[in-house]
Amino acid sequence: MRQRLRFSIPAVLTAAALLLAAPGARAQQPPPNNNNNNQNNNNNGQPGFQVNPNLALQQAAFMAAALGQQLQGNNPGGNPLIQPGGMGAGAPNVNPWGAMTSTPYNSTISSMPYNPYYNSGYGYPALTAGYGNSYSASLFGLASLTQAQGQYLNDWQKARMTNQQVEQAKLETRKQMLQLWQLERASIPSLEDIRTRDMEMQLKRARRDPPLTEVVSGDSLNALLKSSQTFQDKKVVGPHIDLDADVLKNITLTGGNGGNIGLLKNEGKLNWTTTLRDTAFDKDRDALAVLAADAVKNAEFNNSVAPATLTQMRKHLDNMGRTLEANINTIPTGKYMEAARYLGKLEDAITALGSDNVANFFTQKWSAKGKTVGELVDYMHKNGLRFASAAPGEEAAYQALHRALVRYEQGQAQNGTVSSKP
């Protein structure tokens, strides 16, 4: 299998230097040009070289020049030493320089005085010219080789620079991607921005005659309450607005821990809706009535309700919910929705009974207090209270308190009067 002879540039330079440093060998004079002698001078198959004095220096110059020109893209005479296959591979009887008509030293082969392979045993046709005697030839060859290697190093450095330009382009692309991501992120509102916007919208709705459902649920009242408390923190007071005691009696407050005791404020007596008074609910309704009354007593005097009591209350409440769903086709839509809301509020009451501060619901500590709107806002602010949803029958009181809170909060926002209190 043919193999390519590979020559590294440093190896060639080393060889050329050794040849230049070697002294010229004493050599035989070339014999007469006799073809018979050339054909028979085999010496048992061994080549009989006829060399010229100073051949080492001249041959080094010629070889350096030839290799240098090859590296520059010019292969004089198709030198097999630097062609695929190499010397002796596939063309053992072809003179590597047989096709040459001139040397790199501007002299023809015919004018060269010596042939380095004169009468060789390799079968090469004899050359009638040698390498020449010019020392400038060796320098020219080495210069060509040096130029070729310099060009290679230059191209290699250019390739490295091109690679660095590619890497810089990648970094610039990543930088632009980061800038685009930051731009997109800046245009997307944060969670705090969304929450603030929702609070502002809710306050605007609370000021502008909101739906009844938002009033009785306590949402509108709590939005106005928070705004008024913010003004109070800044020592800004609102107008003097009196509150009716009957209105406050029908307002339910909560500590914010969940639950709404509103249905159980009357010593635990439950005021069932018309639909829930049907005979289909008798068993669970009667059991819940007894359990609710006992739970309120325990909460008021012991500040806790037994977990077993709460479990039984939830069990009967779930049974009533399933019974209501089973009769959905026989109950008018309005009545069905009314009964469902009542059961939902009863579930909130059971949740409130399980809280740690359940006694506060029945000891008037978490009751609405204050002769004016300002006093009510201040009392709820100091005790961390907020409005719970209205129990059945409390809707009118919630509407009246809502109107009073709107007037008070808007008065704070308009006049911005700074209180003289420390």
H-helix or E-strand spanning residue 83: none
Confidence class for position 66, pLDDT limits 50, 70, 90: low
Higher per-residue confidence, 141 vs 272: 272
182 forms beta bridges with: none
pLDDT digits (tens, 9 = 90+) for 274-329: 999 999 999 999 999 999 989 888 888 877 888 899 999 999 999 999 999 999 99
Residue 74's alpha-carbon distances to 6, 7, 68, 211, 371, in angstroms, are: 17, 16, 8, 95, 111
Amino acid (1-letter code) at residue 294: D
**pLDDT per residue as tens digits for the range 325-381:** 999 999 999 999 999 999 998 998 898 888 877 877 777 788 888 999 999 999 999
Number of other residues whose CB lies within 10 A of the CB of residue 328: 10
Task: List phi, psi (to 5°) of 418.
Answer: -90, 125
Q: What is the DSSP letter of 386?
A: E
